[in-house]
Amino acid sequence: MVETGFLFPKTFLWGAATSSHQVEGMNTRNDWWEWEQTGRVKEPSGRACEHWDRFREDFKLAKSLHHNAHRFSLEWSRVEPEEGKFSEEALSHYREVIRSLRENGLEPVVTLNHFTVPLWFAGQGGWLSPRSPELFARYVKRAVEFLGGEVRFWITLNEPVVYVFKSYLVGEWPPGERSYKKGFRVLSHLLRGHVLAYDAIKGVTGALPGRPVQVGVAKHVVIFHACSPKSWRDRFSVGMRNLMFNHLFIKALIRGRIFYPGLFHVRLPRARTLDFIGLNYYTRDFVHNEGFRMLEIFGDVCTLKHHREIGKRNSLGWEIFPEGLYQLVKEFSRYRLPLLITENGICTDSDEERFEFIRKHLACLGRAVREGAPVIGYLYWSLLDNFEWADGFEPRFGLVEVDDVTQARRVRESARRFSEISKTGRISWNE
Ligand code: FCB
């Protein structure tokens, strides 16, 4: 008999993701807010989606869409608005958020840091400061002491390598640095910050009853292909990108150290500080070599300039390449850790395209799972249309449309069709 589809495991997590600064609104005490006031972004985040006040309504929608999990982040600058002073009010708010998720049958997946940092922390040099890993771990400890009993999945950092790239190499995000030396320093502090946070979470929750707590990172991954497949130089840069961008952070945490002669060397307090790997997947990049000096080895992206074979793109110009999810999940299976798709989504004005995106990616994911990949869930980015960093509110990623003026929510058709899949756990190969 011809196999027409695939049934995901009953325990599979289905849902969507958000992050504090992109949806809460009025996060006035972090570095992004300050950056927005200097006019370097399309528009400021302002009230965003008013999710701070509307989370209950939003979770009800998620439940109605047959989600059984939801990823969100704590806003560090709300929890610790001044150095060492923790806000009971903010922590109680997040406890309410978690309770509301549970009441709606949604497993909370909680990110502790999604790009934004408190102003006081930025003022001390942010992640460049040698104290930064300890300062991060102190915040994590306090937050987990307050909330730990109610959360099973913690994500320490969102996309640490993207953060380094955008904030310290190309200077598009705060603090707008352009220095690879600083970039590597921040990277090593983020690694150390993760390890200290991991220990803090395990230390606090170790004694609590219930199911074991799982700690991971949300790692942005990209499929890299050579601009000219025949060029060994391009293929070399593809390899370097794959190593540095996709694998370095994970390898360092698993091994407890990483040593690339002349490039990067870090020794961490401990090895094996990952219980699962979160993957954020969006696109493929074509790369061509630029030379062999520092940074040149990673090449440049020529997707838009040269390549004819690229497929459809989202409204930000990122190519849609579902097969990449299959390839990356297979590649990351070699770490023998559970994989959670912590983000995958499309910004588009065509809702038909959104559902096609979801369906094709889930078909690829299903194929990988059928072949034994240890994937435990899929979280679509994002539940709501929201503040897309430097690109403002224009890119529409949401399963739920948010009216900029009235803040009214409207469930998109693609969300309903996705809910049929999450309800049954079944994806057909071709529909
Ligand atoms: C990811 C970020 C997330 C969102 C999506 C579109 O890289 O983690 O905050 O901006 O891209």
Does a structural domain hold residue 345? yes
Ligand 1 contact via 393 beta carbon (within 6 Å): no
Does a structural domain hold residue 319? yes
Q: Are 134 and 194 in contact (CB under 8 A)?
A: no
Print burial letters for 106-139: b (CB count within 10 Å at least 16), e (below 16): bbbbbbbbbbbbbbbbbeeebbbbeebbebbbbb
Ligand 1 contact via 194 beta carbon (within 6 Å): no
Q: Ligand 1 center to residue 211 CA distance, Å?
A: 29
Q: What is the CATH number of the domain that holds 342?
A: 3.20.20.80
Ligand 1 contact via 388 beta carbon (within 6 Å): yes
Neighbours of 346 (CB within 10 A): 27
Q: The tokens 């989202």 sit on which residue?
A: 314
Q: Which amino acid is at 356?
A: E
Phi and psi at 36, nearest 5°, equal: -65, -30
In terms of residue numbers, what domain contains 329? 5-225+232-286+311-428
Does a structural domain hold residue 77? yes
Ligand 1 contact via 45 beta carbon (within 6 Å): no
The DSSP line for 25-78 is ---TTBHHHHHHHTT-SSS--TTTT-HHHHHHHHHHHHHHTT--EEEEE--HHH
Q: What is the pTM for the complete model shown?
A: 0.97
Does a structural domain hold residue 304? no
- Tally of domains in the chain: 1
Does a structural domain hold residue 293? no
Does a structural domain hold residue 149? yes
Ligand 1 contact via 280 beta carbon (within 6 Å): yes
Q: What residues contact residue 327 under an 8 Å CB cut-off, 6+ apart?
A: 223
Ligand 1 contact via 19 beta carbon (within 6 Å): yes
Ligand 1 contact via 158 beta carbon (within 6 Å): yes
Q: The tokens 């934004």 sit on which residue?
A: 116
Closest residue by CA, ligand 1 atom 9: 19
Ligand 1 contact via 159 beta carbon (within 6 Å): yes
Does a structural domain hold residue 32? yes
d(CA 206, CA 219): 25
Does a structural domain hold residue 82? yes
How do the pLDDT tens digits run along the chain, 431 residues long?
A: 567 899 999 999 999 999 999 999 999 999 999 999 998 899 999 999 999 999 999 999 999 999 999 999 999 999 999 999 999 999 999 999 999 999 999 999 999 999 999 999 999 999 999 999 999 999 999 999 999 889 999 999 999 999 999 999 999 999 999 999 999 999 999 999 999 999 999 999 986 776 689 999 999 999 999 999 999 999 999 999 999 999 999 999 999 999 887 778 999 999 999 999 999 999 999 999 989 887 788 888 876 666 666 789 999 999 999 999 999 999 999 999 999 999 999 999 999 999 999 999 999 999 999 999 999 999 999 999 999 999 999 999 999 999 999 999 999 999 999 999 999 999 998 75
d(CA 248, CA 251): 5
d(CA 348, CA 283): 14
For 22, the token pair is 């992109």
Q: Ligand 1 center to residue 19 CA distance, Å?
A: 9
Q: Ligand 1 center to residue 294 CA distance, Å?
A: 27
Q: Ligand 1 center to residue 412 CA distance, Å?
A: 20
